[in-house]
Amino acid sequence: MAKKEATATVKVTQTGSPIRRSKDQLATLKGLGLGKMHKTVELGDTPEVRGMIRKVQHMVNVEG
């Protein structure tokens, strides 16, 4: 059997409101699994996720 590798993850918490933000930033939050204040999700640390975080970095806190 193949050995299971540990994948790196990041915890993303929404700290800013999407009110009066552009539609693409709201869509990015939803793509990250966020949408409500103070919600936290744990995602795989991939270049795609990092790019999405960078787009809404003013509305989220990142750990890990």
Helix H or strand E segment including 51: helix 47-55
Contact 54, 12 (CB under 8 A): no
Which residue ranges form the domains of the chain, and what is each CATH number? 17-58 (3.30.1390.20)
Lookup result for tokens 């990092």 = 50
How many beta carbons lie within 10 A of that of residue 41, not counting itself? 14
Sign of CA dihedral 53, 55, 60, 61: positive
Confidence (pTM): 0.86
> What angle separates helix 23-31 from helix 47-55, to the nearest 10 degrees?
140
Q: What does the pLDDT look like over 22-41, one tens digit per residue? A: 999 999 999 999 999 999 99
pLDDT band at 64 (very low <50, low <70, confident <90, very high): confident
